Structure 1
Amino acid sequence: MSGPLAGIRIVELAGIGPAPFACMMLADHGAEVIRIERPDAKRGGPGGDPAKDILLRSRKTIAIDLKSAAGIGVVRDLVASADGFVEGFRPGVTERLGLGPDVLLGTNPRLVYGRMTGWGQDGPYAQAAGHDINYIALAGALHAFGRAGEKPTPPINMVGDFGGGAMMLAFGMVSALLHARTTGQGQVIDCAMTDGAALLMSMIWSFRGQGLWRDERGVNLLDSGAHFYDTYACADGKYVSIGAIEPQFNAVLREKAGLTADPAFDRQMDPRGWPALKEKLAAVFATRTRDDWCAILEHTDACFAPVLSLAEAPAHPHNAARGTFVEAGGVIQPAPAPRYSVTPTTTPQMAGERTDTENVLAEIGYTTAAIAALKTGGVVA
């Protein structure tokens, strides 16, 4: 394995969404991640095709029956050899399985035990079901997403599941792993998507505290309120993005768009004029196609980029030059990020339909006879 986390072993209890993404990131950066699935999990069946599931890339899989005492024993043996453990169940579930923090850290005091939930391990909502949209709603983030006079618009599930959840957990795991290596002391990470989504809004809270942000949608600097920070439709129905905040960049935009002579644009930061200026700018962008505007504005300081679809993004010259997207197992997908000058990230490898059960158990000391007995008893598959 390559990457700065080479030599780190993480055990992952199979789940969906943010916990797998966090483990994908750890694997991307060199950790050996072993994913535990149920023996009856339909790999490649109606629940999804593991060969095309990007969130499952670059790790091993072992199938264990967690409803059996013998299966729980296998998990404990596996975790005893690990640096980290990740689970994404409701609070109390792993304790009832016999895989709670007290048990696993009792065996492996250096273990970093990562817990991924929406609401957190405690609090009035802790045991309630929920999804990204609910977590970012309670965090105060969802209220900020949307245009003036319209209802809140969920930004798909980037803010709760992946930004406030998975990436916070990956950061927490690495931080706690560093602490464990220094001190020999493991610990539990309580990663709640609501907490993480709130944290991602730190700059907006800062603006609000300074009187620079109104607590309503679509009227502020960064939420489509300003004419110089928005998307615009072109003559062909495609869109461009503009983010010309700084005066010098806004001047370039005005010059390239032929708006230098219009004195109304001189009062860039006066919110009272934003609606009218937005109408003017929209009319200008509607006169040309997106490709026309790319020819005019790309590679300038107008803070411009075309709005690309998922189908278009991998082929854009900038993304192609940097290798922002890669193909693995016939699936186009984002490449690991960020990048390192010395320890390159792992080349993505897609999951297969078979598990790595026998190899993983052999690595932690199980004999061929012991593995065969577990298989015969249905404990592993």
Structure 2
Amino acid sequence: MTARKGPLAGIRVVEFVGLGPGPFCGMLLADLGAEVLRIDRAADARKGYTKPPRNPMNRGKHSIAVDLKHPDGVALALRLVEGADALIEPFRPGVMERLGLGPDVCAERNPRLVYGRLTGWGQTGPLASAAGHDIDYIALAGMLEPIGRAGQPPSIPLNLVGDFGGGGLLLAFGLVAALLEAARSGRGQVVDAAMIDGAAALGATWFTMGAAGMLGPRGTNMLDGGAPFYDVYETSDARYVAVGAIEPRFWAELIHRLGLTEDPVFADLAKQHDPAHWPAMKARLGEVFAGRTRDAWCELLEGTETCFAPVLSPAEAPTHPHHVARGTFLHADGLPEPAPAPRFSRTPAAVPDRPVHPGPAEQGGDTDTALTAWGVPEAEITRLRDAGAVV
């Protein structure tokens, strides 16, 4: 197996397969150099289940397919834990304990292990064992209600706030912090990453503003589409542009470049932050932006001191000149995917034309090579396969 590059090079992680936020956490660690071994379900491998070949969350990882209901499969997982620095498990509370792979058992095998647990509701509390998804977690965390337009139901922010921001990213941060501490103390610990906790943390400012009486109803505030200087506007070709001219000098520059300096609606720029004037300002800006195409507005405003950007689709974004210049996206097998982030000056992740290891399309596609690299003898691999513990 090829040696990894990046600030986490030398760190070994065992990832038990799950849905989006768990693999996303593993991707973040793998992108920065960690050696991530994904344990897939043997049942899926036996069915011939194939993962999308270019799923970015598979990249940089190796896959083995293990039957965790087989005693030899559990024994193999514990053997891998002995050589790991960290573990990612995305199941409901109690599942790993019932498999014989709970944190206490793993700590006996490897006292330095950082044991990462990723759930929606957390390991404790009355809802800990309840079913749920991103939308439920951010709803309970108080982060769904404020998002959306005035007079309309809350808008669903994809699954970015709970699953990925409040879940996978939070766990990656927690694992790295615990690994730093383990390097000093020689002792691992359990990291309980709950999406409700992460979503609440992302909304720290909003909780404070709400408690201080500084928030109006949904869609009437400065950052939720209520303000004319922080909103999206439709263009003549049914596309959109985004304006974020919060500061007075950026607002003045926008009004100037739009040719509205003499317009009575904008006669007094000091009224920018007076909500009483927002409806008229929004209506006038809507009329103006509807008069040209999105590309025409880009020619006039992009790169200026107006805090302007075109609203691009996921299909359009990778080809924008700024992304091309920075290498924000990789293009592997003709398909775009975000490049590793953040960037490091001294220990950068390896980012060639395609990821170092794109990740197996098949469940268990690296069983032999990965187990060998983790110290399992060939004869033992053969025995495990014959016993049905691995596929």
Query: Is 1:21–1:55's contact at 8 Å kept on the other side of the alignment?
Result: yes
Distance 1:293 1:14 in 2: 45
Distance 1:350 1:245 in 2: 41
Distance 1:63 1:181, change over 3 A: same
3-state secondary structure, aligned to 1:162:
helix
CA deviations on 1:177-216 (whole Å, 9 max, x unpaired) are 00000110100011000110011001212322443222x2
2:347 equivalent among 337, 340, 343: 343
3-state secondary structure, aligned to 1:274:
helix
Task: Report deviation, 1:44.
Answer: 10
3-state secondary structure, aligned to 2:345:
coil
CA deviations on 1:289-319 (whole Å, 9 max, x unpaired) are 1111101101101000000011110111001
Query: Is 1:8–1:32's contact at 8 Å kept on the other side of the alignment?
Result: yes
1:21 aligns with 2:24: yes
Which letter maps to 1:286?
A
Distance 2:299 2:212 in 1: 39
CA deviations on 1:224-246 (whole Å, 9 max, x unpaired) are 00011000000111100000000
CA deviations on 1:251-289 (whole Å, 9 max, x unpaired) are 110001111123433210001111111001000001111
Distance 1:114 1:153 in 2: 31
Distance 1:256 1:207, change over 3 A: same
Distance 1:337 1:368 in 2: 37
Q: Which residue of the partner structure matches residue 384 of structure 2?
A: 374
Task: Report deviation, 1:366.
Answer: 2.4
Structure 1: gaps spanning 5 or more residues? none
1:187 aligns with 2:189: yes
1:38 equivalent among 6, 24, 41: 41
Matches within 5 A, 1:23-172: 23-42=26-45, 49-172=51-174
Runs of 4+ in structure 1 displaced over 6 angstroms?
none
Which letter maps to 1:4?
P
Matches within 5 A, 1:221-300: 221-265=222-266, 266=269, 267-300=271-304
Which letter maps to 1:150?
Q
1:303 aligns with 2:307: yes
Greater CA deviation, 105-114 or 325-334?
325-334
Task: Report deviation, 1:42.
Answer: 4.5
Task: Report deviation, 1:141.
Answer: 0.4
Distance 2:47 2:96 in 1: 26
Distance 1:7 1:44, change over 3 A: farther
Task: Report deviation, 1:86.
Answer: 0.4
3-state secondary structure, aligned to 1:143:
coil
Which letter maps to 1:369?
A
Query: Is 1:44–1:51's contact at 8 Å kept on the other side of the alignment?
Result: no
Distance 2:225 2:377 in 1: 62
Distance 2:272 2:322 in 1: 30
Distance 1:219 1:69 in 2: 58
Query: Is 1:329–1:350's contact at 8 Å kept on the other side of the alignment?
Result: no
Which letter maps to 2:140?
L
2:178 equivalent among 170, 176, 179: 176
Greater CA deviation, 47-56 or 12-21?
47-56
Query: Is 1:142–1:154's contact at 8 Å kept on the other side of the alignment?
Result: yes
Query: Is 1:50–1:351's contact at 8 Å kept on the other side of the alignment?
Result: no
Distance 1:144 1:82 in 2: 41
Distance 2:125 2:213 in 1: 31
TM-score by length of 1: 0.96
1:361 equivalent among 346, 349, 371: 371
Which letter maps to 2:236?
A
Q: Which residue of the partner structure matches residue 209 of structure 2?
A: 207
3-state secondary structure, aligned to 1:371:
helix
Distance 1:333 1:290, change over 3 A: same
Structure 2: gaps spanning 5 or more residues? none
Q: CA RMSD in A?
A: 1.5
Distance 1:124 1:325, change over 3 A: same
Query: Is 1:38–1:63's contact at 8 Å kept on the other side of the alignment?
Result: yes
Q: Which residue of the partner structure matches residue 323 of structure 2?
A: 319
Query: Is 2:89–2:118's contact at 8 Å kept on the other side of the alignment?
Result: yes
1:4 aligns with 2:12: no
